[in-house]
Amino acid sequence: TMSGEAKLPAILKHLEAFLDDPLSGKILVFCHHRSVMESLARFLVQRGQECIRIDGQTPSKERHSRVQHFQSGSHCRVALLAITAAGIALTLTAASTVFFAELFWTPASLLQAEDRAHRIGQTSTVKVTYFLAKGTVDELLWPLVRQKMKLLGEIVEGSKDLDFAAATEETNSEVFGGFGTSSNNNS
């Protein structure tokens, strides 16, 4: 969780900027650790921002109603999602922005999570941002994850054209992000 907590100031800044723009639409925020998800949930409550949350403690029969609320609720702009609990079998095409607050060891899990927004019915370009922290396991993990993603053949021109680049976060020089925009061919 050290990596996730180190990134919170940058993630909150970007999430706040996203929410301050009424035209930015809806966003999926994926986390791995409960403490990071709790911090993000507290931030959203303080803002009065409605959101859904799906993690390992969410009963499976409740997940569908939460997804429906996110997909159709005009005031619900944020979905806080655990990578492992919400990374498969959910359609969240109402979102055109995806933040990964934390990395996961399995690139396939990250790609599956991204695919929640890349489903049949998605009509928008989906912007995906991975937040990474210098001086943490992210620095070791990110190159391996990126390499494995490419090896998996999931990122190919014309399908998911992701451009991964390191960028220094202005407010916290210890945080950098991998940014990418991917088009959807499922429409």
**In this predicted structure, what is the pLDDT of residue 82?**
94
How many CB atoms lie under 10 A from the CB of residue 165? 10
Inside any domain, residue 84: yes
pLDDT above 90 covers a percentage of the chain that reads: 44
Beta bridge pairs of residue 95: 26
| pLDDT score of 186 | 44
**Cβ(187)–Cβ(123) under 8 Å?**
yes
d(CA 77, CA 71): 9
Residue 64 covered by a domain: yes
Domain count, the chain: 1
Query: 60-72 pLDDT, tens per residue?
Result: 889 999 999 999 9
DSSP state of 175: E
Q: What is the pLDDT of residue 123?
A: 78
Residue 152 maps to a domain: yes
The answer for residues whose C-beta is within 8 angstroms of residue 139's C-beta and 6 or more apart is 132, 133
- The enclosing H or E element of 17 equals helix 2-20
Which tokens is 140 given? 């070791």
Other CB atoms within 10 A of residue 172 CB: 16
The distance from CA 133 to its chain's CA centroid, rounded to whole angstroms, is 15
* Nearest CA-CA partner of 161 in 144, 184, 139: 184
Does 187 reside within a domain?
Answer: no
Domain extent, residue 156, equals 2-182
Residue 133 binned pLDDT confidence (cut-offs 50, 70, 90): confident
Average pLDDT score, the chain: 80
> Domain of 129: which CATH number?
3.40.50.300
Tokens of 25: 């639409």
- Among residues 27, 6, 28, 7, the alpha carbon closest in space to that of 18 is found at 27
Lowest-confidence pick of 65-69, 115-119, 137-141, 178-182: 178-182
* Each residue's pLDDT tens digit, 134-176: 888 888 888 888 888 777 764 444 344 443 433 333 333 334 5
